[in-house]
């Protein structure tokens, strides 16, 4: 509770503190959503990723909506992450850890506390955890009962994910179950289907020739993450466990957003006290001095897998911003898992005034991230995307060449624009292809 003595940014102002207190008390009595040993498994996988022995695929909505707690949407998100991980596993030739921005990604930081429309000023929408997007005083007033609704939605979502991940849905023998309807229309359909075929052949080889037990290939591991923004909500689900340490058991991996990453702030103080594997978003506003203090506070013992740094610099700035940050970590002697978020530094406004991102900027930042880490002797341990398994039109570009004019067709996000299914799959194919090519060149010299 030491975080309460520090300045906490981005917290809602609840008009009725007594109702808030009773919602938080109720929350603190409910069972945890995840277990601490799952969080520890993830930590050990992130330790491997930090050493280049594994890769992290982290992705999902910018903000989940309560209405996203729907069987089809959940299955579609799981499918796109499974498909991308399959592509990456094959291309990178290493195991991939999947982590969804799901089952709890309900709170959003906002630049302004208030929003004015036609002379009326109301609190900004801060995510379904806090209030509702409709522009009325009743909808925008922070409502403590939503904290309990969020916990319940997260539990329902996670329950469905666990059922799907453990059943035949994720069975590698049947990757055809993972197809989304519109994979058939994708310009990348053939690449994907060839890959699925190659995996089928490899499985048959393992089982029939090598005699490997296939049971382990019928289930997949899947972890959850969300921004740990609303501190009293996160704290109400933080428990001391058998090993004597405290864990946030609402998710496997909470992260600190860039706006709340002040080393002296309440978020850093709260995260200091939990033993989960954690992330910190860093970017152009993060100085090497700030990063050094964050490393001292959040990663004092250099525990393997504890700290993931998620850099989100923007395609135009990464070449200047990232190298000094990599150097700061190197100078500290500590190991972190470096993850590239090519989304949040590349947000722009379309010609029609809509928030969007260009596929080419996202890909460019990723490619630069891969090259910068490689040239500085560092390891890119993973990637972080805002994506959805649905056929939205929020980012432009990709193989279908979505334009600014197309954004109106199916723009659903209340906050940041996400890659749609095809764009997300294409992104993973492009990364995999680049890495395969680099591996080939390193082994055999330039391809003819």
Q: Which is closer to ligand PEP, CB of 257 or CB of 389? A: 257
Q: Rounded to a whole number, what is the distance in angstroms from the first to the last CA of the chain?
A: 62
State the Cα–Cα distance between residues 118 and 120, nearest whole angstrom. 6
State the Cα–Cα distance between residues 127 and 133, nearest whole angstrom. 8
Chosen residue from 32, 52, 95, 109 binding ligand PEP by CB under 6 A = 109
DSSP 125: P
DSSP 184: G
44: region left, alpha or beta (phi > 0 left; psi from -120 to 50 alpha): alpha
Q: Which is closer to ligand PEP, CB of 218 or CB of 259? A: 259
Report, in Å, the least distance between residue 319 CB and ligand PEP: 19
State the Cα–Cα distance between residues 286 and 216, nearest whole angstrom. 42
Kindly state the number of chain residues that form the binding site for ligand PEP, as judged by CB under 6 A. Answer: 10
Of 155, 64, 54, the C-alpha closest to 98 is 54
Q: Which is closer to Co ion, CB of 169 or CB of 385? A: 385
Chosen residue from 74, 258, 379, 407 binding ligand PEP by CB under 6 A = 258
State the Cα–Cα distance between residues 207 and 92, nearest whole angstrom. 22
Q: Which is closer to ligand PEP, CB of 390 or CB of 416? A: 416
| Chain positions contacting Co ion, by CB under 5 A | 62, 416
Closest residue to ligand PEP, judged by C-beta, is 257
Cβ partners under 8 Å of residue 111, min gap 6: none
Mapped onto helix, strand or coil, the DSSP state of residue 432 is helix
Report, in Å, the least distance between residue 308 CB and Co ion: 17
State the Cα–Cα distance between residues 171 and 173, nearest whole angstrom. 5
Q: Could you give the C-alpha distances from 299 to 238, 267, 302, 304, 336, in angstroms and in order?
A: 19, 14, 5, 9, 9
Per CB under 6 A, 323 contacts ligand PEP = no
Q: Of 120-128, 252-260, 317-325, 428-436, which part binds ligand PEP (CB under 6 A)?
A: 252-260
Chosen residue from 46, 62, 164, 318 binding ligand PEP by CB under 6 A = 62
Q: Could you give the C-alpha distances from 417 to 33, 142, 210, 429, in angstroms and in order?
A: 28, 24, 45, 21
Per CB under 6 A, 254 contacts ligand PEP = no
Per CB under 6 A, 230 contacts ligand PEP = no
Residues of this chain, 166-205, that bind ligand PEP according to CB under 6 A: none
The answer to whether 274 and 238 are in contact (CB under 8 A) is yes
Per CB under 6 A, 314 contacts ligand PEP = no
Residues of this chain, 327-356, that bind ligand PEP according to CB under 6 A: 344
Per CB under 6 A, 284 contacts ligand PEP = no
Per CB under 6 A, 315 contacts ligand PEP = no
Per CB under 6 A, 263 contacts ligand PEP = no
Report, in Å, the least distance between residue 344 CB and Co ion: 6
Site residues (CB under 6 A) for ligand PEP? 62, 109, 227, 257-259, 281, 312, 344, 416
């Amino acid at each position: 509770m030491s975080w309460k003595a520090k300045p906490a940014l981005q917290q809602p102002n609840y008009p009725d503190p007594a109702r808030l207190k009773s919602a938080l008390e109720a929350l603190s009595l409910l069972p945890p959503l995840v277990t601490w040993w799952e969080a520890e498994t993830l930590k050990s996988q992130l330790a491997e990723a930090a050493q280049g022995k594994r890769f992290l695929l982290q992705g999902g909505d910018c903000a989940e909506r309560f209405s996203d707690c729907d069987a089809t949407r959940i299955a579609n998100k799981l499918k796109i992450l499974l498909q991308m991980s399959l592509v990456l596993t094959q291309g990178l030739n290493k195991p991939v850890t999947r982590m969804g921005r799901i089952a709890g990604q309900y709170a959003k930081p906002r630049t302004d506390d208030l929003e004015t429309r036609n002379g009326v000023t109301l609190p900004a929408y801060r995510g379904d955890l806090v209030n509702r997007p409709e522009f009325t005083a009743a909808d925008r007033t922070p409502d403590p009962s939503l904290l309990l609704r969020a916990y319940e939605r997260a539990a329902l979502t996670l329950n469905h994910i666990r059922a799907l991940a453990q059943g035949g849905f994720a069975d590698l023998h049947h990757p055809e179950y993972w197809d989304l309807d519109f994979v058939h229309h994708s310009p990348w359909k053939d690449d994907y289907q060839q890959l699925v075929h190659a995996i089928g052949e490899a499985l048959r080889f393992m089982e029939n020739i090598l005699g490997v037990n296939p049971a382990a290939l019928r289930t997949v591991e899947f972890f959850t993450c969300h921004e740990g923004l609303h501190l009293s909500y996160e704290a109400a689900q933080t428990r001391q466990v058998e090993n004597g340490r405290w864990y946030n058991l609402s998710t496997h991996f909470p992260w600190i957003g860039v706006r709340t990453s002040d080393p002296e702030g309440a978020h850093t103080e709260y995260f200091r006290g939990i033993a989960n594997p954690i992330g910190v978003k860093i970017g152009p506003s993060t100085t090497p001095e700030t990063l050094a203090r964050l490393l001292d506070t959040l990663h004092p013992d250099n525990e393997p897998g504890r700290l993931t740094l998620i850099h989100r610099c923007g395609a135009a700035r990464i070449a200047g911003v990232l190298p000094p940050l990599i150097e700061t970590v190197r100078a500290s002697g500590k190991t972190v898992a470096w993850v590239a978020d090519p989304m949040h530094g590349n947000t722009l406004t379309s010609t029609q005034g809509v928030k969007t991102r260009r596929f080419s900027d996202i890909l460019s930042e990723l490619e630069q991230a891969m090259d910068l880490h490689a040239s500085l002797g560092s390891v890119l341990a993973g990637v972080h995307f805002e994506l959805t398994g649905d056929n939205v039109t929020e980012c432009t570009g990709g193989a279908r060449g979505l334009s600014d004019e197309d954004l109106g067709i199916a723009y659903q996000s209340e906050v940041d624009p996400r890659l749609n299914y095809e764009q997300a799959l294409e992104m993973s194919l492009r990364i995999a292809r680049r890495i395969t090519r680099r591996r080939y060149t390193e082994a055999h010299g330039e391809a003819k």
